[in-house]
Structure 1
Amino acid sequence: MTRRPRLLIAVAAGLALLGSACAALAGETVTIPNRVIYPGETIEPAALKEVTLRQGKQAPEAVAIASSDIEGKVARRTLLPGRYIPLSSIRDAYVVEQGAPVQLVFTAGALTISATAVTLQPGSAGDLVKVRNIDSGKVLSGTVMADGSVRVGAL
């Protein structure tokens, strides 16, 4: 009876080693550009390709691995074909552009106040940007929302 559990443990350990060996043989895949992508250009799926690294090679830290991490983002600098894409070289697309009119929104409980403002800097959803209230000329900081409005803490 003691031999059977030991045999099961040995078989399980062998299968675990076999699984990790197969994963190592398969190699890690990374996404790289297949053409030059210029700064300010939105990255499209057609500009990317997935490649498998040679056995034993690993992608460096802080590079984009999956194409889903990159698609729809904007290049901050020139991305060359066949090279890794550093995460610091891409950014989210701007929801509001500098100088564009936006809706300011202040909400406290049931009270909602809205006003029109002009952005003083571009921003993506979730970014803190400065805006100038058109009516008062006062400069405020607010968070860019996904719908293009800016939520402020006080008017």
Structure 2
Amino acid sequence: MTLALSRALALLAAALAVHSGTAAEAAQAVPVASVTIYPGDIIRDGMLTERDLPDNFPGQAVTALDRTALVGKTVRRTLLPGLPIPINAVAEPKVVSVGAMVRVVYVEGDLNIATYASALQAGGVGDTIAVRNPESGLTISGVIAKDGTVRIGTS
């Protein structure tokens, strides 16, 4: 038996072992794309459908098992209809884009200082990004808040 033939038989045996579940094997409904979803698209509930997969399907550990983990997220790579959606294929939507003028707020105790700066990086809520003050040229880092402002300071 040639090496190529033995490898092919081993792959076939592995594939049969994966797909030869018993009738009593439990299945779970997993969200899958109902249409092709492209990078940059925001996932809406209507873009998803459910598909029954065995409890021990390959890739279960890295697959989104709940619709709520997907709806409202931005797609990072093309999602094809009927296939399970990997967790790393979606991300939080970007609140700030590169070059956008963002409100920068410094808060420490009762002291509040606000200004505007140009975003040097894109980011979502909770991301730390760099911004540049257009008047001074100073670059600072801050955390993006839910309202799209960049927060700097301790409070």
Same fold at TM > 0.5? yes
Shorter-chain TM band: 0.7 to 0.9
Counterpart of 2:32?
32
Query: Which residue identity does 2:148 align to in structure 1?
Result: G
Q: Which residue of 2 aligns with 1:103?
A: 103
After superposition, the C-alpha distances for 1:76-134 in whole angstroms (9 at most, x for unaligned) are: 01111111111111000111111111111111111111111010111100000110112
| 2:97 aligned with 1:73 | no
What's 1:52 paired with? 52
Structure 2 residue identity aligned to 1:80: L
TM-score if structure 1 supplies the norm length?
0.78
Alignment of 1:141-152 (within 5 A): 141-152=141-152
Larger radius of gyration: 1
State the shift of 1:135 in Å: 2.0
Task: Give the Cα–Cα distance (whole angstroms) in 2 for the partners of residues 72 and 26 of structure 1.
Answer: 29
Helix, strand or coil at the partner of 2:97: coil
| Whole-Å separation in 2 of the counterparts to 1:91 and 1:37 | 14
TM-aligned CA deviation for residue 35 of structure 1 = 1.1
- Please provide the CA RMSD for this pair: 1.7
Output the amino acid matched with 1:106.
Answer: Y
Counterpart secondary structure, 2:80: coil
Shift of 1:62: 1.6
Segments of 5+ residues of structure 1 without an aligned counterpart are 1-23
Cα distance in 1, alignment partners of residues 65 and 153 from structure 2: 37
Q: Counterparts in 2 of 1:12-31, with a 5 A limit? A: 27-31=27-31
- The equivalent residue for 2:132 is 132
Separation in structure 2 between the aligned mates of residue 57 and residue 26 of structure 1, nearest angstrom: 9
TM norm structure 2: 0.78
Q: Offset of 1:51 from its aligned partner?
A: 1.5
SS at match of 2:61: coil
Which residue identity does 1:119 align to in structure 2?
A
SS at match of 1:141: strand
CA distance in 2, matches of 1:149, 1:134: 16
Shift of the alpha carbon at 1:29?
1.4
Number of the residue aligned with 2:84: 84
